[in-house]
Structure 1
């Protein structure tokens, strides 16, 4: 886990033609997406379509990611961040357990103090359609950003906590970062995608965050 400093980020929803600024408090974020080996160790499951311990886990739903966070928290003696009752989820923001980042936290971490769309030349930092051979790759194989975070762009899209658009798309949740099958224009810090929280897709994974203890 890497400590991410506080800051302010502007999130843009191009489809709705609106943007908003968010103040982000310090938090911790995993240096890489959760791998298949990590997911199997905690859950006993290997849901991915491609296979390899250091490949990012994919084919996991938003709910799967939340359950992983809660299980890992309990194993480490931390307070689970989520109360899950069927399709109803509450985030206990004061909990010290693992969780998904908000999309503002994700974008703030991706930019790592810059205002550019990418934190380096795309071929150096990301697996995308132009260089991935149309397959997922092991985490950490490309250069990290200035804060030591790998694969923030490319390889797999990452689930975030937030709803994409409450008024228009209901419970659809935000994905960030672009993936191995995406063109270069999808691998930018500001790009948002949505998916139903129950869907399992072969280019969607997640990384974990954690709020500092009170």
Structure 2
């Protein structure tokens, strides 16, 4: 886990043209996406279209990701962050809990940028696996240069599920995805790009990373 300092990030949405500033508190975030080995160790399951311990786990839904967070918290003796009722389609985040959780999209973008202001935190070929250099396949985590705060694969390789609803008035329960993946063109691998999907959706270029709140 890497310490991410507090700060302010301006989120934007190309569909609506809206921009809005968000103040972000300090948190800890995993240095790389959850791997297949880590996911299997915690859950006993190993989803994925290609097998490899150090490959990012993929073909996991948003619900799979938040269940993993709770299971990891219990395993570590921490208070789970989420109260989940999948049968009702509801999930509540207990912000007082010290357990693992998904980053908010503001936390994710703030952590991705790591103090940078451009579309990316470095030259794309040096920091990300995307369509132009991935040979149309997923790659082990940590194979590209990290950002200034020591976070790997913030762009490319797999999209990251975030906690947030995308736009509930228009898209209902759809959740936010960030970061771009191994099969995406270069324009999708930028710090500001937002994507959305249903929380039950699973595909071979979507994974996640975990975060933890910093005690007040």
Q: TM-score, normalised by structure 1?
A: 0.99
Determine helix, strand or coil for the equivalent of 1:94: coil
Aligned counterparts of 1:85 and 1:184: Cα–Cα separation in 2: 37
Quote the residue 2:49 is aligned against: 49
Q: For 2:214 and 2:6, how far apart are their aligned partners in 1?
A: 12
Q: 3-state SS of the aligned residue for 1:160? A: strand
Tell me the secondary structure at the aligned position of residue 89 of structure 1: strand
Are 1:148 and 2:150 an aligned pair?
yes
Q: CA deviation at 1:135?
A: 0.4
Q: CA deviation at 1:166?
A: 1.3
- Structure 1 residue 19, shift from structure 2 partner: 1.3
Aligned-residue offset at 1:167:
1.1
User: Which residue of structure 1 lines up, in the alignment, with residue 137 of structure 2?
Assistant: 135
Residue 198 in structure 1 maps to residue 176 in structure 2:
no
Structure 2 unaligned residues grouped into runs of 5+: none
Q: How does 1:1-214 map to 2 (within 5 A)?
A: 1-86=1-86, 87-214=89-216
Describe the SS at the equivalent of 1:84: strand
- TM-score between the two structures when normalised by the length of structure 2: 0.98
- Inter-partner Cα distance in structure 2 for 1:200 and 1:9: 29
RMSD: 0.6
Which 4+ residue blocks in structure 1 deviate beyond 3 angstroms? Answer: none
- Size of the aligned set, in residue pairs, is 214
Question: How many Å separate the matches in 2 of 1:70 and 1:57?
Answer: 17
How far has the Cα of 1:213 moved from its partner?
2.5
Q: Which whole-Å CA distance do the structure 1 matches of 2:150 and 2:210 have between them?
A: 15
SS of 1:49's partner is coil
